[in-house]
Structure 1
Amino acid sequence: MRVIIIGAGEVGSSIAAGLADDHEVVVVDIDGDRVDDLTYSIDVLAIQGDGTSMPTLEEAGIDRADMLIASTDNDETNIVACNAAKIGGEVFTIARVKKPDLLDTWHRSNRAFGVDFMVCTDLLSAQAIVTIVGLPAARDADPFAGGSIQMAEFEIPEDSSVTGQTVAEADRFDSLTFVGLLRGETVEITRGETVLQAGDYVVVIGSPESVQLFGAELSPEQTPGSAEEIVIVGGSEIGFQVARLLEDQGLSPRLIEADHDRARDLAERLPNTVVMESDATDMEFLTREHIDEADVVISALTHDESNLLISLLAKQLGTSRAVAVVEHGDYVDIFEAVGVDAAINPREITAEEITRFTHEGRAENIALIHNDRAEVLEVEINRESILAGRTLQESMAELPDAVVIGAITREGECLIPRGDTRIEVGDHVVVFARTDVVDAAAAVL
């Protein structure tokens, strides 16, 4: 597949790196330094030029392209690039945008702007934050199969009841599968004899209820679903969307915004949110507002340094959990290393959403695990799949190593896979795979 990516920033570079081994990738960016960096770091054709210009698109081979991904930081540029691509060839177009209003317009007007699929960074980030808020102790979480299956990544605490146990001993939850373990730089497929150690990151897939019960086992002091006192710092678009989504769940968060006009606008648009106009770094204000009693503080300001400061202040005051938006992907591990419970990188989430279109059109949903070391895919089984009409025991020998079937849904019912489970056409399977074998697995599922 020939893919043209407009924009060599974090999103574009991440997508290009993921596609370079198996696809013909062309990256276009107006910044010559970015083009040079990409040329030496990834095996792609990098072109300096304006991605909205027909001569540039023709140089990139738009007439032979299967897909164009417009991933710059400018909404209008991305939309124009998709429109221009449609003039140049029969190509599937994906546009990244930040403004939810553009996504709403696109949804209402049946592929407006020449865009076949639109990804809204701010809305995706807000949805990821709300998912994390609903699952205390999780470092990462994603719903699959319409919400009937959940993937979650947990760090094993030193004082956890499962620390030192084998997976077989820790597996005492209905509808839950231990699929992967991240220890240092390695990704392991969990076996019954695998020992869970403090500091490991374990990935589980199962029903939302079982995943929550496992989270409660790891951190009994944080009861899943108990986050009722929620404070959002920053009335950015992400902060607003988080508050709106929490209101949809029947919650009444508090939101702190320093700008007077923005605070007034948010107060009018969020009827069930208490909007407070203040500087969130004011210790006196935070103490007066009992931030120490908050179940979670979500820092959604526009600067990483501010989000780190607010998160650490909240934790110092006694907040149970701190979630922060991190614009620079390289900072995610740093944030979590110094005490932030979950760091959400909008660009990584956007790249994850776009990547699911690159697995030969088979992946219904996808989640990237721990800096793209592994992936979780949801695939609907068709007659060509090696799983169709066979038991898992019969099929697994033909799948690549480092692949695990984590869950199955059949007519909305969650099934936990066992060796004698027979897969039927129309089933949805949720699969954990190490990144280096994902494409091989997706090709035969």
Structure 2
Amino acid sequence: MEIIIIGCGKVGAALAQELVEEGHTITIVDTNKKVLDVVSLNLDVLGIAGNGASYSVLLEAGVDKADILIAVTDSDEMNLLCCLFAKKVRDLKTIARVRNPIYTNEVEFLKTELELSMIINPEKTAAYEIASILRFPSAIQVENFAKGLVELLSVEIPEGSILNDMPIMEISTRLSCDVLVCVLERDEKVIIPSGDIVLKTGDKISVVAEPTKASEFFRKSGIVTNRVKNAMIVGGGKISHYLAVDLIKRGIDVKIIEKNLEICEKLSMEMPKATIIHADGTDQEVLKEEGLLYVEAFLPLTDMDEQNVILALVAKSISKAKVITKINKIPMDTIMGKLKLGSVVHPKFITADYILQYVRALQNSQGSSVETLYKIADNKAEALAFKVKENCRIINQKIETLQLIDNLLVTCIIRDGRTIIPRGKDVILPGDTVIVVTTNVGLYEISDILKK
């Protein structure tokens, strides 16, 4: 498809890379020609220097023949304006990044009045992901499918766990848990595992299960699952705002440390139930005075990745808190796995994943469509949910007879609100939602899981 991206910041660049890998034709518009030159050098994209809200610039970018326009500049108003002008030229799909909390209650109004296909808020989405992880403090990543009927949880096997030296095929019987291990990370390798692989302490595994059965699995395998009661946040930005509101609603005590007095006063007015501390959260003495040694969750969410990494390392070394670190810079991803940072949240990738999910669903006109897509295992694998339609090639066939592509696992079938962890004799029926996990990219419909 022909896709125009307005804004070549962290999100725009990450999104362009994802969409190019998917085989789409990408044009990026930005006022900064130097940034465009760098991205164009590394990716097969066309860069247009100019204002994305300009009619002439939009025409130069090819809006009159584009399928989708995605506006992800730093200005919410600019993004909305770009989408509005694009719709005046052509009836294409438009996606706007809108980050300011003041628009939170106006999303549906904006979508309707401006005829937007999607409004994405990276900070709010990242906050939701962090809150989900805090439900399972030992989890590295938590994703939901089918409106919460199924969860995918990633966790590191701790010392003393019964999972150590256990073959994957024996988990269900030995623990009496109906879960499926779908990804194994070991020695920086990501594997879609077979049942005879033996798990080891330090392995990172991703499991698919119903929420109650996931909790049971964690408990029986010796992995802590108690929900946190209090959280300390360093940095008072948008993610912190959205997260604090969510956590307070869940009954979790929240303390935010922010060095900007004006931001502190604003947060204090918006969230009277939170404790707002005006101090430098990068000062270890301040952190200790405010209770880092005893807090159950520690969240470095400043605007500086380097500060967040250092704070995470400090917290991991002196406290038992669940640590969730925000990282935005792409070059740092290569070293994240080597540092003990706890869970890592990438707002730019979250945004790209949601938009990519929409693009894939839009592209599918036959067979089955992608309902949900998540990048897991440091973006080295994907978990996808497909809705199965009547004319699909795989219906009414036993899973054990399907010629599946390599490095792919059918992990779950959702049928009439019921969750099935599939075995070889199970079949896929029209109307099912099927969840697969794979290290392959570019799956658009359920039939893509089959060898040609």
**Larger deviation, residues 255-264 vs 410-419:** 255-264
Which of 177, 181, 189 is equivalent to 1:174? Answer: 177
Q: Is the 8 A contact 1:138 1:152 kept in 2?
A: yes
Query: What's the counterpart of residue 14 of structure 1?
Result: 14
1:122-137 matched pairs, under 5 angstroms: 122-137=123-138
Equivalences for 1:258-297 in 2 at 5 Å? 258-297=259-298
How much identity, in percent, do the aligned residues show?
A: 28
SS in 1 for 2:441: helix
2:399 aligned partner: 392
Residue ranges of structure 1 left out of the alignment (5+ in a row): none
2:411 to 402, 406, 417: 406
Task: Report the secondary structure of 1:291's partner residue.
Answer: coil
Output the amino acid matched with 1:408: I
CA distance in 2, matches of 1:169, 1:318: 35
Matches within 5 A, 1:62-73: 62-73=63-74
Equivalent residue, structure 2, for 1:340: 341
Q: 1:43 to 1:442 in 2, by over 3 A?
A: farther
Distance 1:208 1:138 in 2: 13
Q: Which stretch of the first structure deviates more once superposed, 200-209 or 341-350?
A: 200-209
The one-letter amino acid of 2:191's match is E
**Change beyond 3 A, Cα 1:320–1:147:** same
What is the CA distance between 1:339 and its match in structure 2?
A: 2.5
Q: Quick check: 1:312–1:339 contact (8 Å CA) kept in 2?
A: yes
Q: 1:332 to 1:230 in 2, by over 3 A?
A: farther
Whole-angstrom distance in 1 between the partners of 2:207 and 2:194: 13
Is the Cα contact below 8 Å between 1:332 and 1:345 reproduced in 2? no
| Equivalent of 1:378 in 379, 385, 391 | 385
1:365-411 CA distances to partner (integer Å, 9 max, x unpaired)?
A: 211123422111122221132333443234x32x4332222112223
Secondary structure in structure 1 of the residue aligned to 2:443: helix
Query: TM-score normalized by structure 2?
Result: 0.89
Alpha-carbon distance in 2 for matches of 1:175, 1:100: 40
Alpha-carbon spacing, 1:173–1:60, altered in 2? closer, same or farther (3 Å): farther
- CA contact 1:180–1:187 (8 Å) conserved in 2: yes
Would you say the 8 A contact 2:328–2:348 is kept in 1? yes
* Shift of residue 434, structure 1, vs aligned partner: 1.6
Aligned: 1:232 with 2:233:
yes
Tell me by how many angstroms 1:442 deviates: 6.8
The count of residues paired between Structure 1 and Structure 2 equals 441
**Equivalent position of 1:48 in the other structure:** 49
Write the distance in 2 (CA, Å) between the matches of 1:168 and 1:354.
36
Q: Is the 8 A contact 1:50 1:56 kept in 2?
A: yes
Query: Which of 432, 437, 452 is residue 432 of structure 1 equivalent to?
Result: 437
Q: State the alpha-carbon separation in 2 of the partners of residues 441 and 372 from structure 1.
A: 21
What is the SS of the residue equivalent to 1:232?
strand
Supply the AA of the counterpart residue of 2:436: V
Deviation at 1:426, TM superposition (A): 2.1
What is the rounded CA distance, in whole Å, between the counterparts of 2:149 and 2:109 in structure 1?
27
SS in 2 for 1:130: helix
Residue in structure 2 matched with residue 245 of structure 1 by the alignment: 246
Partner of 1:369: 376
Q: Is the 8 A contact 1:105 1:112 kept in 2?
A: no
Query: 3-state DSSP class of the match of 1:253?
Result: strand
Q: Which residue of 2 aligns with 1:37?
A: 38
Report deviation, 1:298.
1.0
State the 1:18 CA deviation. Answer: 2.3
SS of the residue corresponding to residue 192 of structure 1 reads: coil
Please list the CA deviations of residues 256-286 of structure 1 after superposition, one character each: whole Å capped at 9, or x if unmatched. Answer: 2333343233233224323333332344443
Tell me the distance in 2 between the aligned counterparts of 1:250 and 1:301. Answer: 24
Shift of 1:117: 0.5
Judged with a 3 Å threshold, the aligned counterparts in structure 2 of structure 1 residues 88 and 24 are, in CA distance, closer, same or farther, namely: same
CA contact (8 A) 2:392 2:447 kept: no
- Report whether the alignment pairs 1:23 with 2:50: no
Taking the aligned partners of 1:261 and 1:28, their CA distance within structure 2 comes to 34
Q: Please report how far the alpha carbon of residue 92 of structure 1 lies from its aligned counterpart in structure 2 after TM superposition.
A: 0.5
Structure 1: how far apart are the matches of 2:246 and 2:216? 24
**RMSD between aligned residues:** 2.6
Asked if the contact 2:177–2:217 (Cα under 8 Å) also holds between the matched residues in 1, the reply is no
Asked if structure 2 preserves the Cα contact closer than 8 Å seen for 1:359 and 1:442, the reply is no
Task: Note if contact 1:232-1:300 (Cα within 8 Å) is conserved in structure 2.
Answer: yes
Partner of 2:152: 151
C-alpha displacement of 1:50: 2.7
Cα distance, 1:252–1:108 mapped onto 2, change above 3 Å: farther
| 2:208 is equivalent to residue 205 of structure 1 | yes
Name the aligned partner's letter for residue 432 of structure 1: V
Q: 1:96 to 1:213 in 2, by over 3 A?
A: same
Q: CA deviation at 1:47?
A: 3.0
CA distance in 1, matches of 2:106, 2:447: 33
Q: Which whole-Å CA distance do the structure 1 matches of 2:299 and 2:391 have between them?
A: 45
2:366 is matched with which residue?
A: none
Give the superposition deviation at 1:158: 5.6
Name the residue aligned to 1:356.
357
Compared with structure 1, are the counterparts of its residues 250 and 386 closer, same or farther at alpha carbon in structure 2 (3 Å cutoff)?
farther
The alignment's TM-score, normalised by the length of structure 1, stands at 0.90
| Separation of aligned partners in 1, 2:393 and 2:297 | 44
Counterpart contact for 1:181–1:188, Cα < 8 Å: yes
Query: Are residues 255 and 426 of structure 1, via their aligned partners in 2, closer, same or farther at CA, if it must alter by over 3 Å?
Result: same
* SS class of match (2:58): helix
State the AA in 2 paired with 1:264: E
Query: Structure 1 residues 20-29 or 345-354, which shifts more?
Result: 20-29
1:3 maps to 2:3? yes
Secondary structure of 2:64's match?
helix
Contact 1:127 1:242 in 2 (8 A): yes
Tell me: CA distance 1:338–1:152, structure 2 relative to 1, closer, same or farther (3 Å): same
* Distance verdict in 2 for CA 1:301–1:14, change over 3 Å: closer
